[in-house]
Structure 1
Amino acid sequence: MQRRLGRESLYVPSCRLGLYVALRHWCPPGGRVLMSPVNDDVIFFVVLAAGLRPVQAPLKAEDGSIDMAAVPASVWNGLSAVLTTNLYGNPDPAAELRARCDQLDIPLLEDAAHAIGSEVAGRPVGSFGDASVFSLSKHTGAKTGGFLTIADPALRAALERARDELLQPARLSAEIAYGLRPYAEAGVRGLRLVPAARATQRLLGLQEREDIRMELRPDELKQAMTAAPAPGQGLDDFGSWVRVDMHDYRLRPGGLRLRRTQRLLSRLEGRLAAHRAGTERLSATRWALPRPGPVQPLFRVPLLVADRDAAIAALARRRITVGYLYDPPLDAYAGEVFTDPSPAPGPAAWFARHALPVDPLIAGQVISVLTELGAQPARPPTAADAAEPSAQGEPGV
């Protein structure tokens, strides 16, 4: 990662822990962080756990990136940091955000979990911010690990200490479970037992999401927010939200985990090439909008489909699961008690409702299903659409 980005890189057991370390280091308690409302709710809770106030940014409807022109001056002037998302690997305007953050003398933090191979303005995503975080659960498929990278190498020792203070001891049981997980998942898929496995998880109370978003539990969340964000305390108070989908996110990695992660990371360039090829194929379909510049190795390609629920159901019938949906946007999900809403929420809501995140490694299968279904493309709303909602109450549908 240091060779790839040209900056110091620190291994962390998860992207979310790396982001927490960065937020605590660069942002004052009570600070306000501009972020995307079309984002994983876990990241929203990481920001809250760090003792900060999320501020939801307006987005561009066509790709879900931050729309800098729609952020009012009053919002810019009250910020303590900007956090990019690079949704599905599509870059946010990092160069322009870097310049604006420099003007305001605030840090730019890049969440590059989906964007380990993406580039913007001729540079890798993750090379613009004061800090950036990467996930190895995505393109490599390691299901563990990540990197915190920093522009100032003099900060490495302090950030390493902060990371180590938050780590929990390695557990043999967790290492064994991690080692067996790929074989168990392959067996379940091979025997076509995925629906039964999910039903069992629900029965045993092991499935933490009944819907796209996890349950907010506002009363408990208010209680957690009253605690002082001392080092580590925030993660303890917000643990039931931050650990969702990854309970070992703070676990000190053992040898088995590190060896497997290293082996998968060594194959990264081949995986990126495969993602790039699939992205190019999906981007040529009627459900994709033209993307300027070189083809990115997107983690997921957000096709824009008029009836996304019907498309998801059709794919499920072919045993293709659609994940990484972020609907509704975080301001609609959490409300003004827990976040500042976007000053222009319409485009984000439209994108969240119509984006169908497709794994580029199965591009051919998805194209076949959508073609057979007769799925119609959705087109982003125009300014006129936004001013005059449709009969369905949603612009441009």
Structure 2
Amino acid sequence: MRARLGRECVYVPSCRLGLYVALRHWCPPGGRVLMSPVTDDVIFFVVLAAGLRPVQAPLNAFDASIDVDAVPEETWGSLAAVLTSNLYGNPDPAPRLRDRCDALGIPLFEDAAHAIGSEVGGRPVGAWGEASVFSLSKHVGAQAGGFLSVADPEEGDALRRACDALLDPCRTASELAYAVRPYAEAAVRGLGLRRAAWAALGLLGLAERDGIRMPLRPEELARAAGAAPDLAAHDPWVRVDMHTYCLRSGPVRLRRIRHRLGRLNDVLEASREGTGLLLSTRWARPRAGDGGTQPLFRVPLFVADRDAAIAALARRGIVVGYLYDPPLDDYAGQDFTDLSPAPGAARWFARHALPVDPLRAREAVEALERSGARPAGPPADPARPGTAADGLEPSRD
């Protein structure tokens, strides 16, 4: 990763822990952080755990990147930092955000969990901010591990110490569970039991999400916020989908991570090919002037009826994940975040984006064609009279 980014990299057991350490290192408690409202709720709770106030940004409707020109000037002047999302691997406008942050004297952080292999402005995503975080559970598929990358190599030792202070000791039982997990998952897939497995988890009370977003539990969250900055107080939210996010990696994890990381270039090449196919379909809205096809982690197609499209893909054994609906400001409300000044584009994206795995592009295209999936209508123009106030397309009934 040092060679790939040209920067110092610190190994961390999870992207979310790396981000928490970076935010605590550079931002004073109470600072305001501009971020995307269409991202994982875990990231939102990491920002809260660091004692910071999330500020939801207006977005580009077709890739969920921060719309720099739509952020009010008074908002820029109030910020302590900016956090990009690079959703599905589509880059945020890091060069422009870097210029803005330099002018304001504040740090830029890059969440590159979906974006290993993506580029912007002639540099890899993750090479623009004071710090960036990467997940090895995405393109690499290791189900553990990540990197905290920093622009100043002299910061590396301090960040390693901060990470080490938060780590739980490696546990033999956890290493064994990690070792057998791929075989158990393969068995579930091979027997066609994925839905039954999820239903069983729900019946046992082990599923942590009833829908796309986890339960907010506002009263409990308010009490946790009173203790911030405090990762332990926010652990019930930060650990969701990865209870080992603070666990020191043992030899089994590290061996598998090294093996998977060694195959990264092959995965990126296959992802680039699948991305090109998906972006050529009638459901896609290719990003103009991006300098070529990015090896996206997921390709957002835009469909009128996403639930029907998800069901059509499920019949082919293609599971759709990484949905972020509703946007964070609608999900959390103004008690926990500053609301976006222009929420329409984020709402349209969150409702209509169908993130498809490019490694299964041909199967997905065939399934969507057979199902008759219709492309979503364009987002409404808020300046045009008669369009929906929430930024969704007008009804065609």
Q: TM-score, normalised by structure 1?
A: 0.97
Aligned partners of 2:59 and 2:346 also within 8 Å: yes
Cα distance, 1:374 vs. partner?
A: 1.1
Query: 2:126 matched to which residue of 1?
Result: 126
Q: Superposed, which structure 2 residues align to 1:221-370 within 5 Å?
A: 221-229=221-229, 234-292=230-288, 293-370=291-368
SS in 2 for 1:286: coil
Question: Structure 1 residues 390, 105: closer, same or farther in 2, change over 3 A?
Answer: closer
Question: Structure 1 residues 13, 205: closer, same or farther in 2, change over 3 A?
Answer: same
Aligned partners of 2:380 and 2:391 also within 8 Å: no
Question: Structure 1 residues 307, 83: closer, same or farther in 2, change over 3 A?
Answer: same
Question: Structure 1 residues 45, 296: closer, same or farther in 2, change over 3 A?
Answer: same
Aligned partners of 1:388 and 1:395 also within 8 Å: no
Cα distance, 1:389 vs. partner?
A: 2.7
SS in 1 for 2:62: coil
Cα distance, 1:44 vs. partner?
A: 0.2
Query: 1:97 matched to which residue of 2?
Result: 97
Number of paired residues?
393
Query: 2:184 matched to which residue of 1?
Result: 184
Query: 2:80 matched to which residue of 1?
Result: 80
Question: Structure 1 residues 335, 95: closer, same or farther in 2, change over 3 A?
Answer: same
How many angstroms apart in 2 are the aligned matches of 1:384 and 1:200? 44
- Structure 1 stretches of 5 or more lacking a match? none
Q: Say yes or no: does 1:140 pair with 2:140.
A: yes
How many angstroms apart in 2 are the aligned matches of 1:174 and 1:387? 57
**% identity of equivalent residues:** 67
* AA partner of residue 91 (structure 1): P
Cα distance, 1:124 vs. partner?
A: 0.3
Query: 2:211 matched to which residue of 1?
Result: 211
How many angstroms apart in 2 are the aligned matches of 1:228 and 1:237? 8
Q: Say yes or no: does 1:381 pair with 2:379.
A: yes
* AA partner of residue 326 (structure 1): Y
Cα distance, 1:309 vs. partner?
A: 1.3
How many angstroms apart in 2 are the aligned matches of 1:387 and 1:311? 31
* AA partner of residue 112 (structure 1): A
* CA offsets 1:293-325 (integer angstroms, 9 cap, x no match): 210000000001111111112222222211000
How many angstroms apart in 2 are the aligned matches of 1:384 and 1:198? 40
Query: 1:372 matched to which residue of 2?
Result: 370
Aligned partners of 1:86 and 1:112 also within 8 Å: yes
Cα distance, 1:290 vs. partner?
A: 2.5
* AA partner of residue 318 (structure 1): R
* CA offsets 1:97-123 (integer angstroms, 9 cap, x no match): 000000000000000000000000111
How many angstroms apart in 2 are the aligned matches of 1:5 and 1:164? 23
Aligned partners of 1:126 and 1:132 also within 8 Å: yes
Tell me whether 155-164 or 307-316 shows the greater mean CA deviation: 307-316
Question: Structure 1 residues 8, 310: closer, same or farther in 2, change over 3 A?
Answer: same
Aligned partners of 1:62 and 1:380 also within 8 Å: no
* CA offsets 1:225-278 (integer angstroms, 9 cap, x no match): 11142xxxx111001100000000000000010010000000000000010000
Aligned partners of 1:385 and 1:396 also within 8 Å: no
Tell me whether 175-184 or 367-376 shows the greater mean CA deviation: 367-376
Query: 1:166 matched to which residue of 2?
Result: 166
Question: Structure 1 residues 200, 379: closer, same or farther in 2, change over 3 A?
Answer: same
How many angstroms apart in 1 are the aligned matches of 2:160 and 2:382? 51
How many angstroms apart in 1 are the aligned matches of 2:97 and 2:273? 29
SS in 1 for 2:78: coil
Q: Say yes or no: does 1:13 pair with 2:9.
A: no
Aligned partners of 1:385 and 1:395 also within 8 Å: no
How many angstroms apart in 1 are the aligned matches of 2:115 and 2:168? 27
Tell me whether 297-306 or 367-376 shows the greater mean CA deviation: 367-376
Q: Say yes or no: does 1:52 pair with 2:52.
A: yes
SS in 2 for 1:226: helix
Question: Structure 1 residues 387, 55: closer, same or farther in 2, change over 3 A?
Answer: farther
How many angstroms apart in 2 are the aligned matches of 1:226 and 1:264? 41
Q: TM-score, normalised by structure 2?
A: 0.97
Aligned partners of 2:131 and 2:150 also within 8 Å: yes
Cα distance, 1:199 vs. partner?
A: 1.3
Aligned partners of 1:386 and 1:395 also within 8 Å: no
Cα distance, 1:71 vs. partner?
A: 0.2
